[in-house]
Structure 1
Amino acid sequence: MAIPQPLLLLCLLVSIAFPSHPRAVGSGLAPASSSPFDAALATLQTQIGHSFRAPDLLRRAMTHASYSRENGRALAVLGLAAAQSAAAIRSLSADHDATASAVARRAREAASEAACAAAGTSVGIPAIVRVAGGVNASADPVICGAFRALIGAVAVDANSTDTAGEVFWRLHVLTAASATAAM
């Protein structure tokens, strides 16, 4: 039995006007665990305390240059700047009389490859970041780059380096606290 044309047209219009899939019609929401990568990104957002309005930024941040031309390298540049800025502000807030060299040193140390790799490892970046075969996702430069890209992605998503700095410090402090507890 054939469906009458007006009824078929009505069903089509209703399905377009009221989509059932959360990603449909530009909702900006990622599907609930459509892949292990999406599930890992959802967990990462919870861990860092920032829910992305533009989840594609997070996807890009967790993509290494070896994996795709659409990767987090540019976001990492912004993330490094935001992390260093946050560290400089914190340094000067703690000591208004700090020398320029002391502030610069503290900013470099806080946003160093080792510090960023440690923070990235603590939130599970090695298990999340997408890399090409033959690239070690657990290597400090890879983890650090993805962590910095994550901070840059937060800055772009929130349109605020202040928000990115808050996420950076939250993760930096958690990493330092867990390292101290392990000793």
Structure 2
Amino acid sequence: MSELLRQADRREDTNFDKIYRWYIGEGEVELNNEQQKLRKRWENIWRLFGGYNTPTKIVRKHKRVFSEISERTAWQDLRNAKALFGDPSLQNRAAERQRLNIILLRAMKKAEKDRDWKALARLTDQYRKNNLLDKDDNGGIEDLLEHFKPHQFVFSNKDPEELKREAEELMKDVPAVDAEFTIVSDDES
């Protein structure tokens, strides 16, 4: 049976589902002993992530605390903890950037109060680098407009020869790469 059919056929929540609902519902769901053990293991391995360790070191430390589990189970605990609580290695970077921003902003206020313009310029430069403000944005509106070729349609009931002469006269003032015209007669439309 495929995984999709197995999920569709599932009549009861998995351990992960119940533990997730236990956290979200603040204890509204009752966990059995096995689910409580899983929850504690997942919390433990996720807390080990906070020490800036590599995943291999985290799994080894986790196995020392819970000696009854295999290495494969420890890796599964790591995967489930990331799915349940998020990946703290990604969150740490944003948190560190925010912490550094607060320090820089305080220092900038102090430098401005002390009228230390050199320090203020240096701190402002560091703040800009910290927030990647010194990098050009990729995929901005400028990039879109560079490749965008707007079209303008003109409908007229003038004689086609007269319209062509007017269009050619207008084209003299416009570079050839920027515009072109096509006359469509009633027969072609």
* TM-score normalized with structure 1 length: 0.24
Larger Rg computed on CA atoms: 2
Give the TM-score normalised by the residue count of structure 2: 0.24
